[in-house]
Amino acid sequence: MSDPVLTSRNLTVAATQFEPHIGDRAFNLAAIDRMVRRAASEGADLVVLPELANTGYLFQSTTELATLAESVPDGTSVRFLASLSRDLAIHIVCGLAERDGDSFYNAAILTGPEGYLGKYRKLHLWNDENRYFAPGNLGLPVFDIGIGKVGIAICYDGWFPEVFRQLALSGAELICVPTNWVPMPGSESRDDTMSNILTKAAAHSNGVHIVCADRIGTERGQPFIGRSLIVGPDGWPLAGPASADREEVLLAVIDLSSVPQSRILNSFNHLLGDRRTDVYR
């Protein structure tokens, strides 16, 4: 019997890179609106925004965070993003600060033409995030958006191969990564960033597309490195890396139907099928 013919499932994805302002939600939502509309005007079907894009990143106190964090899905930013998705008939993945009772989460939401679709809470907290946020407690959900299946990770999650592997095993074909990458020790003289190296390795070793949207600028003394990128399931960039310091929109057309074939390396080897689950979990 002949192999089935796979129907192409093309999706134009965008990574948006800009500079949120700490504590200025009105400014940040205006910037999000501008960047998303720009990406949509250039053909994007799905747009990824940076981590904590609606608030900025470096909180000075829990009190400050409490004034900016919002409930999901009822908060101002979520409703704004849902409305923007409906207006433009696109999907959006955006990092934001979530409040749930007395707890705060570094979260990301997914919206689509039908509105709010779901959320993810960052599992691995970086540095002072541990002072203000609770670790994620929703696991690693995978969302079916009709044309394909989407997973979400946030920034430092990318340093843990288990995150991408679990999402791939759960059916994700595209992983969206809102991020606020900072310089890593020893990286000053390198041509490539560790964040980009890890992203390319994760895409290849799991046979998935990955879209990383980073911020730029310096906030309360902390610089961010930009270098957003879109990577195909073979591990090579389809767009980017972006600059270190400029506002940019990266776009790439990806074919989600290519994922199964990308995991077959030869007649004997399959990236997920070769896992030695008798030895490791």
Q: Which residues are catalytic?
A: 51, 122, 155
| Rounded Cα distance, 215 and 228, in Å | 8
First to last CA, the chain: 35
Those residues whose C-beta lies under 8 Å from the C-beta of residue 5, and which sit 6 or more positions away, are none
- In 3D space, the residue among 213, 259, 202 whose CA is nearest the CA of residue 239 turns out to be 213
Give all strands of the β-sheet with 46-48 in edge-to-edge order: 115-121, 103-112, 91-100, 46-48, 10-17, 248-255
Within 13 Å, how many C-alpha atoms sit on residue 4's CB side?
Answer: 6
**Planar angle of CA 53, 169, 198, nearest 5 degrees:** 50
